[in-house]
Structures are given as structure tokens and as C-alpha cells.
Amino acid sequence: MHRTRFLALAATAGILITACTTGGGTSAAPTTASTAPSTPAGSAPPASQPAEAAAVRLQLQWAPQAQFAGYFAAVEQGYYDAAGIDLTIVPGGPDVIPQAAGSAADGPEFTISWVPKVLEARIGNPASDLVNIAQIFQRSGTLSVSWKESNITKPADFAGKKVGVWDFGNEFEVTAAAKKAGLEAGTDYEKVIQPFDMTLLLSKQIDVAEAMIYNEYAQVLEAANPETGQLYQPTDLNVINYNDEGTAMLQDAIFARASWLSEAGNEDIATNFLKASFQGWVYCRDQPADCIQYTVDQGSTLGAGHQAWMMNEINPLVWPAPNGIGIMDAAQWQQTVDVSIGAGIIKEAPPADAYRTDLAEAALAALADVDTKGESFVKGTVEVTAGGN
């Protein structure tokens, strides 16, 4: 009697197990760059073509979105294949610290992160040996956004206000600008840690909110004012852009471990990787509509309208690149270091080898027939879509 019950139990357990193992539950997770190579338009021969494609990983700073469109485009256009790079893109997300993942000895070979966060990681314990090998974003995308009626047009106007900032090292451009205007958090203005969205600004629980020009700022414009049923307009908002305030810090850059780069042949792999990535960003500058589609293809839950906005705002952060895409602007580096020291992120200037431009220069040399500066780049226009759909 009991025996039959046990058989029933065992059978049902067996069914469960088979259900789990025969399905796709064990399929590989990260987005694998295994698209068929199409003919790369106007691509130069690789700097040095390895006999076999080098398998490397790229750690994104966040879940796929148009912020990383250049890499998706390089995959889709076959630039990595042509450069002998077999790339696996590792998405980021909440609880993923890209510079920590990329610092691990067996972590992804390449990492997208922000410069001050890596400067902090380099003096951490254990110390990260990540080196900036290509500064993709020449400009910062950080804004402070407030309602028009609050009349906050410059950091000095923060006095007596509730100023929202993000935590985790994202707040320094804002607090440094306030400090420059002679304001201290706690005494002259109230610093409020805001979630990674604009809810506190919309509900007017804070006066000013930190926002990325390519993401949260657009979300405000994609939201409807509940009283009127109409979308909020740029004219409803005041915007402080930290590129104009002199406290902007360098953001998305490609990092690699010094220990990994020192192994024989890896500098060539890095150069080839950069070359293909640069081509991807050039492609997104010239064919943004394609890149929006490549991004949207990364996940059905991404709003196409929002990604179109993001692509349109990411391009001006990358282009024009006066020294060529990926080459560090020494003055911007210095400003980032100065603000980092002023904010107490680091105690002293990092060593000169915290960034290097030789790999990016070699990659650019292999792209001599491509416009890698984008001097004539003009920002496009996109229509705001309700809900970012």
C-alpha cells in the first residue's frame, strides 16, 4: 500500500526532473555574439589577424540598453568577427558591480565602467589593476533636473533645497558643484539619496533630482502630468548640465586588467577588440536607426521610443571625439582626478599608468580610412513617445 504511494511520489519527482532538464533551463545565459557575419562596410584589415578567434568577454555596466549600442552594432555588423574576436557580452544589472567583476582574475577581459568608480577600486582592498584603455564617452551625461517653478538654474540655487543624488559613487558631480558654489551638504542644503528613477521628483518630495540625460531625463518627458493628461515638456523643467559647471567626471570607458594585458598576445587582442568596438560606435553615429533596432533586439522589455532617445543622446557624449574615439582627453582626466580627490574618493592622484592610449592609437591607426573623429557630427532629433514605447 505504502509502496505504491512511494512509486507515485518517485514518478512525479521524476517527471519534475525531466521537465527541468529537457527544457531550455540549462541553455547558456549571457548574450552570445554569435550572429552571422555580414560584410563590414568600409572596414580596414585587422591590425594583426590572429589565426584563431580570441574568445573574450565584455562586462556591461548595466542591462542592455542604447548606452552600449556601439558594441551591439559591432557584433551585428561582424566587426568583431572580422577582427578575430569571439565576443561574449555579459550584461550588468542591480547587484552587479562591473569594476569588481572585471577586476577578478578570471573575470571578463573587458569592462565598461565610470572612471571615478575604477579610481576608487584601484585603491581598494584587494586593489584592482584595471587600466583605462579607451575613453569612449568624451563628455558626462549627468544632469540635475528640477521643476521650473523651483527656479533652480545653477548649483548655487541648491541653498535650502532638497537635492536628490544617487548613491554608490554617482553623486560626486553634483556635490562637487555645490561645494564649488560654497554649499555644504547637511548645512546649506539637504542631500537626499534618491532611487534610480524620477519618482521623488514627480511626487515633488525633492526639489532637484540627479538624472542621466540619456535615461531618467527622458523618462520625465515620457510621463504624463496626471492633472492635464499631457506629457511633461522640456519647458516645464530647469536643467543643470555638469559639463558646464566644471565638475563633470569621465564616464563610460573600456577597462582591462594590467595583469591580463601583460600576458603575451593580449595587447594585440585588446587592440583588435578596440578597433571593432570603435567601428561599432562609428556605425551608430552614422546609422543610429539600425543601432536602435540592435538595442531593442536585446530584449522585448525595452521601450523602442526610449531607446531611440537614448541613442540620440549617447552619440553626442561620444562625438565629436577631437583626438579620435577612445583617446583620453588629458584635461578631462585631470578634472576627474581633481573632483575625485576633492570628494575624498581617492587621497592622491593615480599613477600615470592608470590609463593608456597606445592600444586605442594602434586601433585608430588600423582605421585610417574611417572618420574616427566625427568633427562634423550634428546631434539628431527624436520624438518623445508617451511611456517610452
Question: Residues interacting with other proteins, by CB under 8 A?
Answer: 2, 5, 8-9, 12-13, 16-17, 19-21, 23-31, 63-64, 90-97, 100-101, 104, 196-199, 202-203, 215, 219-220, 222-223, 226-227, 229, 296, 298-306, 385-389
CB 272 within 8 A of CB 83: yes
Task: Report the helix count and the strand count for the chain, using DSSP H and E.
Answer: 15, 11
DSSP state of 153: -
Cell of 25: 533551463
Residue 59 or 279: the one with the smaller Cβ distance to other proteins is 59
Residue 29 or 368: the one with the smaller Cβ distance to other proteins is 29
Q: Which sign, positive or negative, has the C-alpha torsion 24, 29, 31, 37?
A: negative
CB 254 within 8 A of CB 87: no
To other proteins, the closest distance from the beta carbon of 359 in angstroms equals 26
Residue 41 or 55: the one with the smaller Cβ distance to other proteins is 55
d(CA 240, CA 143): 5
Q: Give me the helices (H) in 91-183, please.
A: 98-103, 115-122, 172-180
CA 68 to chain centre: 6
Residue 100 or 258: the one with the smaller Cβ distance to other proteins is 100
To other proteins, the closest distance from the beta carbon of 76 in angstroms equals 16
d(CA 206, CA 32): 41
Residue 308 or 370: the one with the smaller Cβ distance to other proteins is 308
To other proteins, the closest distance from the beta carbon of 372 in angstroms equals 31
Residue 291 or 366: the one with the smaller Cβ distance to other proteins is 291
The angle, 0 to 180 degrees and rounded to 10, between the axes of the packed helices 266-286 and 69-76 is: 100
- Residue 32 host element (H or E): strand 31-32
To other proteins, the closest distance from the beta carbon of 54 in angstroms equals 19
- Write phi, then psi, for 189 (nearest 5 degrees): -150, 160
To other proteins, the closest distance from the beta carbon of 132 in angstroms equals 22
To other proteins, the closest distance from the beta carbon of 203 in angstroms equals 6
Q: Can you spell out the DSSP letters for 304-340?
A: HHHHHHHHHHHHHHH---TT-TB---HHHHHHHHHHH
Residue 129 or 222: the one with the smaller Cβ distance to other proteins is 222
- Residue 294 host element (H or E): helix 288-296
To other proteins, the closest distance from the beta carbon of 207 in angstroms equals 17
Residue 311 or 367: the one with the smaller Cβ distance to other proteins is 311
To other proteins, the closest distance from the beta carbon of 170 in angstroms equals 15
